[in-house]
Amino acid sequence: MNQRFFSIALSVIVACLSGCVVIHKEPTRPVKMEKGSVVDLRTQLDAAELVWHSMQRLGCRQTDVIYPEILEKTSDFQAGTGYVIKGQVKERWVAHGCNMKVPYIVDLKANKQNEGGTDIYIRREGGGS
C-alpha cells in the first residue's frame, strides 16, 4: 500500500515539475460598456479586459461599468469590426467598481505591422498602470 501511494505521489510531483499541471485561472468577466466610444463593442471589450485587470491590481474584484468619453481622434480615424482600420483615438474611460471611480486614458490605434490588429494602451489618469 505504501509503495502504491509513493508511486502516485511521485507521479504528481513529476507532473507539477514538468509543467503539465493546469493551473485554474479565473475567467475574465464581461464589463458593461456605456455609449461614448467610437470603436465597436468587440474592440471596447478587448480594452475593457485590460482595465478589468488593472482594477484587479487595485484590489477591486468587480468592475461594474465603464463610461467612455472621446478626448482626441485623428482626422483619418476609421474603425472596423473588432479593430481600428486607420488612425488613432484617445478616450477617457471611467471604471466603476468596489465603490471606486477610476479614470483611465485608453489609446487605440491601427497596428501598421499587423493589418486587422489594434494597439491598445491603457494607463490610469494621473499615473500608474
Task: Give the pLDDT confidence score for residue 27 in this predicted structure.
Answer: 43
Using the predicted structure, report yes or no on whether residue 60 has a pLDDT greater than 90: yes
Using the predicted structure, report yes or no on whether residue 65 has a pLDDT greater than 90: yes
Q: Specify burial of residue 56 (Cβ count, 10 A radius: 0-12, 13-18, 19+).
A: middle
Of the pLDDT bands very low, low, confident and very high (cuts 50, 70, 90), residue 10 is low
Q: Which of 32-46, 80-94, 114-128 has the lowest mean pLDDT?
A: 114-128
Query: Phi/psi at 91 (nearest 5 deg)?
Result: -130, 155
Residue-averaged pLDDT of the chain:
83
Using the predicted structure, report yes or no on whether residue 55 has a pLDDT greater than 60: yes
Helices (H), ranges, the chain:
2-18, 41-57
pTM of the model: 0.73
Task: Give the pLDDT confidence score for residue 111 in this predicted structure.
Answer: 87
Mean pLDDT value across residues 40-49: 92
Task: Give the pLDDT confidence score for residue 17 in this predicted structure.
Answer: 58
- Grid cell, residue 78, equals 476609421
